[in-house]
A and B are shown apart, each in its own frame.
Chain A
Amino acid sequence: MSNHLNPSDVKAYTRRAFLQNSTLFASAALTVPAFLQSSAFALPRPMEGLSSIAGVDEDKILVVIQLSGGNDGLNTLVPFGQDGYQRVRPRIALSANEVLKLDRNGGLGLHGAMSGFKNLYDQGLCGIVQGVGYPNPNRSHFASMDIWHTADTNGTGDGWLGKYIDSQCCGYGSGTPGKNQSQNQDPPPPMIAIGKEAPLMLNGRTQMPVAIEDADMYQWTGDKMGKDLSDAYHEAIEKNSQQSMEDDNKSFLVRTAMDAQVSSTKIRKAVGTESLVQYPNTRLGSQLSMVASMIRAGMPTRVFYVSHGSFDTHANQGGLQGTHARLLQQLSEAVDAFYSDLRAQENDGRVLSMCFSEFGRRVGQNGSGGTDHGTAAPMFLFGPMVNPGLHSRYPSLTDLDNGDLKYTADFRQVYSEILDGWLSAPSKDVLGRGYQHLRVLKS
């Protein structure tokens, strides 16, 4: 793919010129910060804004939406028709006319606040995997989140998407930090997390994700203090980065600072453009609108991560109205707007979204009108590449494990299908073994 220069983007031009020069200094790609290694990043791509290009893997994007705190699956995908449901949840159960029914006879429906999801479901853009969990469920937020992030039931090791990136650039396991570049293959561009933390999921052995809390904050304040100061800073960083060949801490810091500078310009520019649709005025709405803007600007980032919560509804979670309803409404409105935006951009075919939580909640309500930490819960997948409808089966409400649902699908079955079927990375390399696909994606 050739790059043409956008004359209005003078900064990008200077940096690009600098980078072309810097290749004279050394062949090691280490000189070049990760953000610039993918040549497509620095400049708008010729195909920008067009729909998916057949056979081009780089074009496929995964958006991970984390529901933090443990989302109550039973009040999300509601088994309103089942006898056991109403009985154990007298204060918070939803009745038949408080849900958005998904089928005629099965007695399943989405929480009444989720008209956005229902919208996507009706358009054939939403697949729901029922009863997702893993063996020996851990009920600690941190431990269970680590398990989902690492795809390892001990919750140890690198993040599963970090491992995916590792597997793309240098073969999983053979990389050492900062020394990932093989001679003939560009590493994938860093993944982007919206939030103050780089989530474990995106941490690999060779690459760190870019974390952005707020695009306005994602810049050096010193830039506001005059051109002399700003120029001196950028000059110093660039001079420094020509020497950052080593794997020592100083080189690591210089590369990160350079990544930050370069991505700052691009991301703020991307996010600065107005969205094609109106997003709800919520935190998740603005996070997804940022992601959509970055996709529209043609950034080659393949994985984005956002989070929403907290779903830790131990008390007064409410039924059709209340805390949980509000969280679900925010979620479903934001995702609905996100896909309208992507469709308007003609990018919807490139973007698969996956929505998960570290665990569901217990079947029965507790003494405070809430629910305590439980086990299996539904996962949601969005996009035209998804086989729409319900997958796996709803866990039994009577055959319980200590008052908890028994999972009917392992989350790694979903991960493995996303890796094999969407990201074109052999899932065994990333997950350590094969998992049976649930056919949640169109083949």
Chain B
Amino acid sequence: MTMSGIASAPIKRVSDSTSPIRDDHFGYAQARHLLLRAGFGGTDHQIRTLASWGAEKAVDHLVNCEDIPAQSDTPDEFDSAIMRPLTREERMALNRARQTQDENALAQYRTERQRRQRADRRQMREVGRWWLTRMVRSPRPLEEKMTLFWHGHFATSYRTVEDSYHMYQQNRMLRANSMGNLGDLLRGIIRDPAMLRYLNNNQNRKDSPNENLGRELLELFSLGEGHYTERDIKEAARTLTGFTYEDDEFRFNQNQHDQGTKYVLGMQGNMDGDGLVDAILRQEACALFIVFKLYKYLVRDIPFDLSALDSSTRKVILKLAQYFRASSYELKPLIRRLLLSRHFYDPINMGTKIKSPSELLIGSVRSLLVPVRDIGVVADAMDLMGQSVFLPPSVKGWDGGRSWINTSTMFVRQNTLVYLLTGALPNRSLLMRDKSNFDALSLVPSLQRASDLEASDEQIVRELSLLTLGHDDDKVVGSVLKGARGDGEEGTMRKNDAAVRALVLLTSMPEYQLC
């Protein structure tokens, strides 16, 4: 009896190369990996297409996505007025009521405010569903994936902002710059009403500075802890005084802006927020910090600590950071280089990353073509798994990696897949399941080819296993075939119901949680 072969496996060096992968090394598995990481996975057909194109064309297709027409079938018109500020007349009436202690008028005001808050929470749910639907349908998956990256990076929660339209506006700003320039993103975020509200910069005035945004801008958004001093934070806050918003627009309140000389990150002058961004971009720590986070998001869950990394990964991170700085913080060349690199396709990085809730669910819909059934159920399930869009747990965003997984979220993950595949909910009887049609057999390539209509049951399970798990290990195929076919005779797997059962088993395997 052997010990699963770990000790005897030869130790292979991790590739430290950021040069492009050779086309003859870019096959089905690599194309699948690319689609999983630079998007939400794909169908067998999409994987084959990318594989046939070769690495460069495949990566360019994902990165240079503005050439692909954006979808037009999702409405993106939301009501900007639900949480509009009170008009001058309304404010005066309210003040009058307060002064005269007019309880009726005050009660009426409170009722009206509660009504608006309810309406706004409803709209927030709609915006959330709109975004999830966009992730499911977009022909530019990397754009959505990067928008989600920046949402987690510049984490802003509706719980504090309480204005769905501001959250929506921020989402659009992040999407428009998702693969643009880091400087534009930083300049955009310090003008973003939702962020200004979230980190209290609307209360950052020259006589009573509020350091919240200044601190997080350095600590979480650009440099990382240890690359600035407490003095830098105080000075950064001064540069941001008067950066506020009015209704849905950014406003620079000259009167509240500190016009004095600031000393921040080694720069000096009468700087404002843009001057602060310039100072940040001069720091070497900035490129390194962003590359670390992007690597963590797209490649592998690593600690923010160069000395804790294996030498190959360290070399790759440093090279990419240098490249990012040299290309003036343009994101596209950075992402392109990363996705093309040999390091990205090293076995250590393939099939080893824990899927985020969105990667799991959006990915399952996009690769298995299951019906979405009820996007509200999907959104609720994501919440149970710990990832509610527009409601990140804190300004740190989502920790990701193993923090997604506990015994409870494991069941939610498996059960939501059962729901998507069969329509059955864990707390309802099977009879009440959603009966939208799901053609599982259409996923089996050999059943789509006229010459292969006689595919064996085992062959069918094998192909479903490849699609879901990326391998067709005999042991897994054996168990799944037994479980899905039961006592049925050969040929049973050509029934849709049996194929669905096979998929229920395959997606409940712990390794389906990996991408």
Question: Which residues of A are interface residues toward B (Cβ below 8 A)?
Answer: 24-26, 142, 177, 196-198, 208-214, 216-222, 224-226, 228-229, 231-233, 235-237, 239-240, 242-243, 245-246, 248-250, 252-254, 256-257, 259-260, 263-264, 315, 367-368
**A24-B1, A249-B353 known; A211-B406 Cβ under 8 A:** yes
Enumerate B1-28 residues with CB–CB distance to A below 8 Å: 1, 3-4, 6
Which of B354, B383, B483, B513 is close to A232, meaning CB atoms less than 8 Å apart?
B483
Cα-based distance from A90 to B394 in the complex (angstroms): 36
Question: Which chain B positions have C-beta within 8 A of A263?
Answer: 407
Which of B353, B354, B408, B418 is close to A213, meaning CB atoms less than 8 Å apart?
B408
**Cβ-based interface call for B208 (8 A):** no
Question: Which chain B positions have C-beta within 8 A of A208?
Answer: 406-407
B424 touches A250 (CB 8 A): no
A256 touches B410 (CB 8 A): yes
Question: Which chain A positions have C-beta within 8 A of B410?
Answer: 253, 256-257, 260
B510 touches A240 (CB 8 A): yes
B508 touches A254 (CB 8 A): no
Cα-based distance from A194 to B488 in the complex (angstroms): 41
**Cβ-based interface call for B402 (8 A):** yes
Question: Which chain A positions have C-beta within 8 A of B486?
Answer: 226, 228-229
Question: Which chain B positions have C-beta within 8 A of A225?
Answer: 418, 422, 424, 430, 501, 504
The proximity string for B residues 405-423 relative to A, scoring 1 for CB distances below 8 Å and 0 otherwise, is: 1111111101100110010
16 A-B pairs with C-beta separation under 8 A = A196-B409, A197-B386, A220-B414, A221-B415, A221-B426, A222-B418, A222-B505, A225-B418, A228-B483, A228-B486, A246-B6, A249-B352, A250-B511, A253-B410, A256-B407, A256-B410
Report the minimum CB–CB distance from B212 to chain A (whole Å).
Answer: 10
Known: A196-B409, A229-B504, A368-B110. 11 other contacts (CB 8 A): A208-B406, A208-B407, A220-B411, A221-B415, A225-B430, A232-B482, A232-B484, A240-B510, A242-B4, A249-B514, A253-B511
Q: How many residues of B contact A (CB 8 A)?
A: 53
Which of A196, A216, A222, A252 is close to B414, meaning CB atoms less than 8 Å apart?
A222
Q: Which of B32-40, B277-285, B473-481 contacts A (4 or more CB under 8 A)?
A: B473-481
Report the minimum CB–CB distance from A206 to chain B (whole Å).
Answer: 12
Report the minimum CB–CB distance from A231 to chain B (whole Å).
Answer: 7
Nearest 3 CB-CB pairings of A with B = A232-B483, A211-B408, A253-B510
Cα-based distance from A224 to B425 in the complex (angstroms): 11
Cα-based distance from A139 to B384 in the complex (angstroms): 27
A142 touches B394 (CB 8 A): yes
Of all chain B residues, the one with the shortest Cβ separation from A263 is: B407
Cα-based distance from A252 to B402 in the complex (angstroms): 8
Question: Which residues of B are interface residues toward A (Cβ below 8 A)?
Answer: 1, 3-4, 6, 98, 110, 301, 352-354, 383-384, 386, 393-394, 402, 405-412, 414-415, 418-419, 422, 424-427, 430, 475-476, 479-480, 482-487, 501, 504-505, 508-511, 513-514
A236 touches B514 (CB 8 A): no
Question: Which chain B positions have C-beta within 8 A of A26?
Answer: 3
Question: Which chain A positions have C-beta within 8 A of B402?
Answer: 177, 249, 252
Q: DSSP class of B's interface residues: helix, strand, loop or mixed? A: helix
Report the minimum CB–CB distance from A96 to chain B (whole Å).
Answer: 27
Cα-based distance from A250 to B484 in the complex (angstroms): 24
Of all chain B residues, the one with the shortest Cβ separation from A209 is: B406
Cα-based distance from A250 to B471 in the complex (angstroms): 14
Cα-based distance from A163 to B456 in the complex (angstroms): 54
Report the minimum CB–CB distance from B433 to chain A (whole Å).
Answer: 10
Question: Which chain B positions have C-beta within 8 A of A210?
Answer: 406-408
A229 touches B483 (CB 8 A): yes
Of all chain B residues, the one with the shortest Cβ separation from A202 is: B406
B430 touches A236 (CB 8 A): no
**A24-B1, A25-B3, A245-B6 known; A259-B407 Cβ under 8 A:** yes
Question: Which chain A positions have C-beta within 8 A of B511?
Answer: 250, 253
Of all chain B residues, the one with the shortest Cβ separation from A251 is: B510
Question: Which chain A positions have C-beta within 8 A of B406?
Answer: 198, 208-211, 256
A236 touches B4 (CB 8 A): no
Report the minimum CB–CB distance from B79 to chain A (whole Å).
Answer: 25
Question: Which chain B positions have C-beta within 8 A of A211?
Answer: 406-409
Question: Which chain A positions have C-beta within 8 A of B411?
Answer: 217-220, 260, 264
Question: Which chain A positions have C-beta within 8 A of B352?
Answer: 248-250
B424 touches A252 (CB 8 A): no
A221 touches B98 (CB 8 A): no
**A225-B430, A259-B407 known; A250-B510 Cβ under 8 A:** yes
B427 touches A216 (CB 8 A): yes
A25 touches B1 (CB 8 A): yes
A236 touches B513 (CB 8 A): no
Which of A233, A239, A250, A367 is close to B514, meaning CB atoms less than 8 Å apart?
A250
Question: Which chain A positions have C-beta within 8 A of B483?
Answer: 228-229, 231-233
